[in-house]
């Protein structure tokens, strides 16, 4: 990088003719020394850069004029006097005033008419500001390289990765050199790429996007990630590149799943007594029918048709008990799979069957308005039932806490464009105004201490929003109205029922 002496004099004229070199016109500092390192000449730029006040330096030793000169410079001078040429791009020197300067310099010998080394020519340029800027930029680069968070830079025009720090490479289990130049969409799971492409366009348009997506490792495995992208714009122009950070949220998802599972099991525990009652009835009927059938056979008091009828009754009640057991097992299972189309009618029927005992205990009547042509909702049934259960339990708790004597809950559904909308509305007095904005916060509850975890509505909100829907609440008609919106199963032939008046 040191190219300062573009045409240094290999054989300078003798000292008495040195002024003819016109070194004052040079754009950098130049000084010429004899073999004792005494000045023969030095231009103004050299004196200013080295903070030398004397104008006439001839005959003075550079080491006396600049006593703080480091030993490495003196060693370099000795080597150059022996015939070598040396240079440095960013060599520090402490000035007389205590400040530190950086110099780019070249030191080379000059020879007399006999070809002997007559001294040294030093070409120096003060690069202090340039060095500081370079080192500041390098500090930022080092910080990014050594950072524990992953960072990548993508060319917005071609969508290719231009840079990936080591943390990003480790996250993707891929060597950095194998990442650079790749299409960034190739680092996402194939099923995600169409959606990611739209999000990248949104980042270019809006400046920032944050989203969750499955990213692809070098071995083909995927992991859930939180991705934040910022489009870096030129003043008044487009965004030439994007900066993105990626965080592995596998552990967060695992804890979140455990939290949901714990809450489901908590609700099952709360309903255990009621479920035992629901199972006891078909079991008792089965026992009675079987005993009657045995008695008819033993005593000969019944014909074959009557016995068969009793046995069919046993089978029917066994199926009823089996349905309840399967439903509870499904509700408590942790692995629910990806979002699948679910009949809202089936989910409501299953939830009400499981909650019969609790509804009777709280003396709550549920009115259901579900038009037959409401489309299926894109949410796994166990999740949809969990949301419904939470909302109905919330209404029961509100009535049990002293709400209106009119203990009714209205459950209504309809379709709006591509969404399935349903509401769960009670008349238990509503939610305090100052709590409305916080009901979906984890662990927030308006119930007395020890009578609520504050997780039911938070988990329901997370389930619905993760499916691309929304869950909101408002006070209406003397109670609380929870409204759930979910993506509906696309079907152009479905007729859209009108929104109910009480919705």
How does residue 19 score in pLDDT terms, banded at 50, 70 and 90? very low
Q: What is the pLDDT of residues 265-286, one digit of tens each?
A: 666 665 555 555 556 556 766 7
What pTM does this model have?
0.42
- Phi/psi of residue 447, nearest 5 degrees: -80, 160
SS3 439: coil
Average pLDDT estimate for 351-379:
88
In this structure, are residues 93 and 69 in contact, taking their beta carbons and an 8 Å threshold?
yes
Write down how long the chain is.
503
| Superfamily in which the 147-248 domain is placed by CATH | PAS domain (3.30.450.20)
Q: Name the DSSP letter for residue 105.
A: E
Average pLDDT estimate for 325-342:
60
In this structure, are residues 487 and 378 in contact, taking their beta carbons and an 8 Å threshold?
yes
In this structure, are residues 167 and 148 in contact, taking their beta carbons and an 8 Å threshold?
yes
Average pLDDT estimate for 33-61:
93
| Residue 500, pLDDT above cutoff 80 | no
Q: Give the pair of three-digit tokens for residue 135.
A: 């080192």
Please enumerate in sequence order all residues whose Cβ is within 8 A of that of 344, keeping only pairs 6 or more positions apart, or say none.
370, 374, 376, 377, 384, 413, 420, 422
In this structure, are residues 242 and 364 in contact, taking their beta carbons and an 8 Å threshold?
no
208-216 β-sheet, strand order: 161-164, 150-155, 241-248, 222-232, 208-216
Return the higher-pLDDT residue of 363 and 283.
363
Distance CA 32, CA 123 (A): 9
Strand partners, 415: 420
**Number of CB atoms found within 10 A of residue 416's CB:** 11
The average confidence (pLDDT) of the chain is 81
Please enumerate in sequence order all residues whose Cβ is within 8 A of that of 138, keeping only pairs 6 or more positions apart, or say none.
none
Average pLDDT estimate for 286-310:
74
Q: What is the pLDDT of residues 119-177, one digit of tens each?
A: 999 999 999 998 888 877 777 667 677 777 888 899 988 999 998 888 898 999 888 88
Nearest to 163 by CA among 222, 109, 244: 244
In this structure, are residues 369 and 352 in contact, taking their beta carbons and an 8 Å threshold?
no
Domain 15-133 shares a fold with domain 147-248: yes
How does residue 239 score in pLDDT terms, banded at 50, 70 and 90? confident
Note the pLDDT of residue 403.
57
Q: What is the pLDDT of residues 177-194, one digit of tens each?
A: 888 899 999 999 999 899
Note the pLDDT of residue 7.
42
The fold of the 251-335 domain, in CATH, is: Helix Hairpins (1.10.287)
Task: Spell out the domain ranges in the chain.
Answer: 15-133, 147-248, 251-335, 341-503
How does residue 330 score in pLDDT terms, banded at 50, 70 and 90? low
Q: Name the DSSP letter for residue 452.
A: -
Pairing of strands 408-416, 365-369: parallel
Note the pLDDT of residue 80.
96
Strand partners, 222: 216
| Residue 10, pLDDT above cutoff 50 | no
| Residue 67, pLDDT above cutoff 70 | yes
Write the class of the CATH domain 341-503.
Answer: alpha beta
Residue showing tokens 């209404």: 395
How does residue 3 score in pLDDT terms, banded at 50, 70 and 90? low
Strand partners, 93: 101
How does residue 15 score in pLDDT terms, banded at 50, 70 and 90? very low
CATH number belonging to domain 15-133: 3.30.450.20
Average pLDDT estimate for 87-107:
91
SS3 13: coil
Residue showing tokens 């934040």: 228
């Amino acid at each position: 990088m040191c190219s300062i002496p573009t045409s240094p004099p290999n054989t300078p004229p003798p000292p008495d003719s040195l002024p003819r070199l016109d070194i004052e016109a040079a754009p950098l500092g130049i000084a010429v020394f004899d073999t004792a390192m005494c000045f023969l000449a030095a231009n103004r730029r050299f004196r200013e850069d080295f903070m030398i006040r004397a104008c006439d330096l001839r005959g003075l030793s550079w080491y006396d004029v600049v006593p703080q000169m480091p030993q490495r410079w003196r060693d370099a001078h000795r080597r150059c006097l022996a015939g070598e040429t040396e240079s440095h791009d960013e060599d520090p020197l402490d000035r007389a005033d205590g400040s530190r300067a950086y110099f780019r310099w070249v030191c080379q010998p000059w020879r007399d008419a006999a070809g002997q080394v007559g001294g040294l020519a030093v070409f120096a340029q003060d690069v202090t500001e340039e060095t500081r800027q370079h080192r500041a930029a390098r500090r930022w680069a080092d910080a990014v390289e050594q950072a524990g968070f992953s960072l990548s830079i993508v060319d917005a025009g071609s969508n290719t990765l231009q840079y990936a720090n080591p943390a990003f490479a480790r996250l993707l289990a891929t060597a950095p050199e194998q990442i650079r130049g790749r299409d960034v969409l190739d680092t996402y799971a194939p099923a995600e790429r169409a959606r990611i492409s739209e999000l990248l366009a949104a980042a270019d348009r809006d400046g920032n996007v944050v989203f969750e997506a499955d990213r692809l490792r070098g071995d083909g495995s995927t992991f859930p990630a939180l991705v934040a992208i910022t489009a870096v714009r030129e003043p008044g122009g487009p965004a030439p590149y994007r900066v993105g950070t990626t965080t592995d949220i596998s552990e967060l998802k695992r804890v979140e799943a455990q939290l949901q599972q714990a809450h489901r099991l908590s609700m099952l525990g709360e309903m255990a007594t009621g479920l035992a009652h629901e199972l006891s009835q078909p079991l008792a009927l089965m026992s009675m029918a079987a005993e009657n059938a045995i008695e008819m056979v033993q005593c000969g008091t019944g014909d074959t048709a009557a016995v068969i009828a009793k046995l069919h009754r046993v089978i029917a009640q066994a199926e009823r008990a089996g349905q309840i057991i399967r439903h509870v097992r499904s509700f408590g299972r942790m692995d629910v799979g990806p979002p699948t189309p679910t009949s809202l009618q089936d989910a409501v029927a299953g939830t009400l069957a499981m909650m019969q005992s609790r509804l009777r205990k709280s003396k709550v009547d549920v009115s259901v308005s579900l038009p037959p042509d409401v489309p299926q909702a894109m949410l796994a049934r166990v999740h949809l039932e969990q949301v419904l259960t939470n909302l109905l339990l919330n209404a029961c708790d509100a009535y049990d806490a002293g709400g209106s004597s009119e203990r009714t809950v209205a459950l209504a559904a309809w379709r709006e464009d591509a969404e399935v909308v349903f509401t769960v509305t009670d008349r238990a007095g509503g939610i305090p105004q100052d709590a409305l904005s916080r009901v979906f916060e984890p662990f927030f509850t308006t119930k007395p201490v020890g009578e609520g975890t504050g997780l039911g509505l938070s988990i329901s909100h997370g389930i619905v929003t993760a499916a691309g829907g929304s869950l909101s609440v408002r006070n209406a008609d003397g109670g609380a109205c929870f409204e759930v919106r979910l993506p509906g199963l696309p079907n152009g032939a479905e007729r859209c029922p009108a929104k109910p008046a009480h919705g």
